């Protein structure tokens, strides 16, 4: 199972990935499908672990995390 | 051909640009839209160029780098996105039509404008001219980093710093300076930097950029699909999506990354010094010719960029450029260079303009010698 951090655009996702990489956390860009009422057409980061730490790092770097989810 | 029309666009383009364009054509899908591998790969290319630009100008967050079709579009976004009816704008006397025409258009919406004269070689006088033009309605100052006709560099940083003292936003047209003069936005009072990707940044035509270096975000010029927040009928606020509606020039943006890498591989200081040496050499030779008229003081490395305008006595500039092209195989640019204000300030408007030469990193001393010899022979 992977964890998904939702971000508002592909630019934000890539910026977030680079920031996490500097903190030793690897991640992968992932397309987020349109689901009405839950945000739509965006990108996020798949990470294997350290989800809470990753979210905290991004928030400290003024990256808006729009959501998080588990991916089966 | 000896190509000295690099002020219009640089030619030839470096191999790194050609290779980047080639790669993008072979590997590109629509960036920032789909989730398949090719779309993600394309998004990486765009983000890489965005990051390279942010590093090149030391502007920090790549999200604040907005891709446009050209410098004109970037300037239009700032001018039309900042000003409201009743506002006042100050522009310099050396502005390109990319600034002058949007401002003229806005006059229909009760936006007034004052032109502040750039006094060549006199920073204090120039600064006074801008200061004296400020009134209680002044919202924005737009100034060129360097004249695209005469190469004159006004004291842009001091003008921008003065704007902040008065609570006025500023925007700098870097079309003729980006890629030649080092610009460090982390230590700058510039609020909005607008640039062309295809001139001294060596990218393909159809590329430009705006870098936002302040907290004020302009209104949008156009709205549309961004590949993000698609349920929302309203334009996203987030950067750069807010200003990048519709499919952009992905191939051009990929090529621009090659241009930036080219400049970085040589060093911007080295390019600037070389091109200034070439322009100074041309100036020194041309000033001794009885048939040539020059319009500036001798260019130095502090107050000019490598752009030189001249005329040949008793021959209009278009004819002179035509002779240089047809008889000597030298490409120059004649006319008004889309900058009637600049020509007005140097009294070359009634002459139909000037002949302009602009070198690039590829220009050689022999190229300049050939030009000088050709000009000498035209009578």
ipTM of this model? Answer: 0.89
Q: Are B211 and B59 in contact (CB under 8 A)?
A: yes
* Residue found by looking up tokens 């695209």 in the block: B148
Contact B236 A11 (CB under 8 A): no
Q: Provide mean pLDDT across the span B294-303.
A: 96
What are the phi and psi torsion angles at B306 (to 5°)?
-75, 75
CA angle B51, B256, B219 (to 5 degrees): 65
How far is B117 from B169, CA to CA, in rounded Å? 19
Distance from C-alpha of B141 to C-alpha of A70, rounded to nearest angstrom: 50
List the beta bridge partners of residue B359.
none
pLDDT in single tens digits along all 72 residues of chain A: 588 999 999 999 999 999 999 999 999 999 887 665 555 678 999 998 889 999 999 999 999 998 887 665
The whole-number average pLDDT for the span B188-194 is 98
Asked if B244 reaches chain A (Cβ–Cβ under 8 Å), the answer is no
Question: Of B53, B54, B231, which to mutate for an interface test with A (greatest number of A Cβ within 10 Å)?
Answer: B231
Yes or no, beta carbons of A12 and B32 under 8 Å apart:
no
Q: What radius of gyration do chain A's Cα atoms show?
A: 11
Query: Is B72 within 8 Å of chain A by CB?
Result: no
Name chain B contacts of A27, Cβ cutoff 8 Å. none
Contact A36 B231 (CB under 8 A): yes
Supply the pLDDT for residue B74: 98
Closest partner CB to A10 (pick from B43, B61, B239): B43
Which residue is it, tokens 């390279």?
B52
Residue B202 region, left (φ>0) first, then alpha (ψ -120 to 50), else beta?
Answer: left
Please indicate if any CB of chain A lies within 8 Å of the CB of B236. yes
Judging contacts by C-beta atoms under 8 Å, the chain B residues touching residue A33 are 35
Residue B228 pLDDT level (bands cut at 50, 70, 90): confident
pLDDT at A1: 52
Distances in Å between the Cα of B246 and the Cα atoms of A65, B33, B196, B219, B290 are 25, 10, 20, 17, 54
| Sequence-ordered alpha helix ranges (H) in B28-70 | 37-56
Tell me the longest C-alpha to C-alpha distance in chain B.
Answer: 69
Distance of CA B322 to the CA centre of its chain: 25
Edge-to-edge, what's the strand order for the sheet holding A42-47?
Answer: A28-32, A42-47, A2-7, A65-71
Partners of residue B234 in chain A, C-beta under 8 Å: none
- Cβ distance of A8 and B40 shorter than 8 Å: no
Q: What is the DSSP string of A7-21?
A: ESSHHHHHHHHHHHH
Using a CB–CB cutoff of 8 Å, tell me whether B226 touches chain A: yes
Phi, psi of B310 (to 5 degrees): -155, 170
Would you call the peptide bond into B12 cis, given omega within 30 degrees of 0 as the criterion? yes
Query: For residue range B306-333, what is the model confidence (pLDDT) as tens digits?
Result: 999 999 999 999 999 999 999 999 999 9
The pLDDT value recorded for residue A37 is 52
Cα–Cα distance measured from residue B200 to residue B13, given in angstroms and rounded to the nearest whole number: 10
pLDDT, one tens digit per residue, over A26-42 is: 999 998 876 655 556 78
B35, B209, B242, best to mutate vs chain A, most A CBs in 10 Å = B35
- Nearest Cα of chain A lies from the Cα of B102 at a distance, in angstroms, of 30
User: Cβ–Cβ of A41/B227 closer than 8 Å?
Assistant: yes
Q: State the pLDDT at residue B83.
A: 98
Please name the helix (run of DSSP H) or strand (run of DSSP E) that holds residue B163, with its range, or none: helix B156-165
CB contact under 8 A, B241 and A9: yes
Nearest CA in chain A to B66: A11
Q: Greater confidence, A31 or B160?
A: B160
Strands B169-173 and B138-144, by their bridges, are parallel
β-pairing, B354-357 vs B333-335, is antiparallel
Interchain proximity A12–B34, CB inside 8 Å: no
Beta strands in A1-72 (DSSP E): 2-7, 28-32, 42-47, 65-71
Chain A CB contacts of B63 below 8 Å: 11-12, 15
**Predicted model pTM:** 0.96
User: Cα distance from B63 to chain A (closest Cα, Å)?
Assistant: 7
Q: Is B227 on the interface with A (CB under 8 A)?
A: yes
CB contact under 8 A, B236 and A15: no
A-chain CB neighbours of B45 within 8 Å are none
Beta bridge partner(s), residue B334: B355
**Is A14–B43 a contact, with Cβ atoms under 8 angstroms apart?**
yes
C-alpha distance from B187 to closest chain A C-alpha (Å) = 21
């Amino acid at each position: 199972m992977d964890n998904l951090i939702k971000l508002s655009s592909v630019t934000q996702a890539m910026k977030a990935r680079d920031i996490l990489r500097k903190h030793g956390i690897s991640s992968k860009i992932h397309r987020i499908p349109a689901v009405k009422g839950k945000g739509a057409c965006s990108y996020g980061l798949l990470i294997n672990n350290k989800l809470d730490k990753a979210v905290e790092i991004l928030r400290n770097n003024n990256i808006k995390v729009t959501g998080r989810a588990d991916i089966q | 051909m000896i190509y000295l029309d690099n002020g219009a666009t640089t030619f030839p383009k470096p191999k790194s640009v050609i290779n980047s364009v080639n790669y993008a054509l072979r590997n590109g899908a629509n960036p920032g839209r789909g989730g398949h591998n090719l779309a993600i790969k394309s998004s990486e290319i765009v983000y890489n160029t965005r990051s390279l630009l942010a590093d090149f100008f030391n502007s920090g967050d790549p999200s604040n780098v907005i891709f446009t079709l050209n410098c004109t579009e970037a300037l239009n976004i700032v001018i039309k996105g900042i000003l409201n009816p009743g506002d006042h704008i100050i522009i310099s006397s050396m502005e390109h039509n990319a600034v002058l025409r949007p401002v003229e258009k806005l006059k229909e919406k009760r936006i007034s404008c004052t032109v502040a004269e750039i006094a060549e070689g006199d920073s204090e006088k120039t600064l006074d001219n801008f200061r004296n033009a400020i009134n209680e309605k002044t919202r924005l100052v737009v100034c060129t980093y360097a004249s695209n006709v005469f190469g004159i560099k006004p004291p842009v940083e001091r003008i921008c710093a003065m704007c902040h003292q008065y609570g006025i936003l500023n925007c700098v047209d870097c079309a003729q300076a980006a890629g030649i003069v080092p610009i460090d936005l982390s230590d700058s009072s510039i609020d909005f930097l607008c640039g062309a990707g295809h001139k001294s940044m060596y990218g393909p035509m159809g590329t430009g950029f705006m870098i936002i270096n302040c907290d004020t975000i302009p209104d949008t010029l156009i709205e549309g699909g961004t590949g993000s927040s698609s349920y929302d009928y309203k334009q996203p606020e987030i950067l750069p999506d807010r200003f990048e509606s519709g499919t952009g020039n992905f191939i051009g943006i990929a090529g621009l990354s090659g241009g930036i890498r080219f400049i970085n591989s040589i060093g911007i200081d080295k390019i600037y010094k070389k091109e200034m040496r070439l322009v100074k050499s041309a100036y020194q030779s041309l000033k001794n010719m009885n048939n040539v008229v020059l319009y500036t003081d001798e260019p130095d490395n502090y107050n000019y960029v490598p752009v030189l305008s001249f005329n040949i006595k008793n021959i209009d500039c278009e004819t002179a450029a035509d002779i240089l092209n047809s008889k000597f195989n030298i490409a120059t640019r004649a006319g008004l260079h889309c900058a009637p204000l600049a020509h007005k300030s140097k009294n070359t408007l009634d002459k139909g303009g000037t002949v302009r030469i602009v070198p690039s990193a590829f220009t050689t001393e022999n190229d300049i010698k050939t030009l000088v010899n050709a000009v000498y022979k035209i009578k």
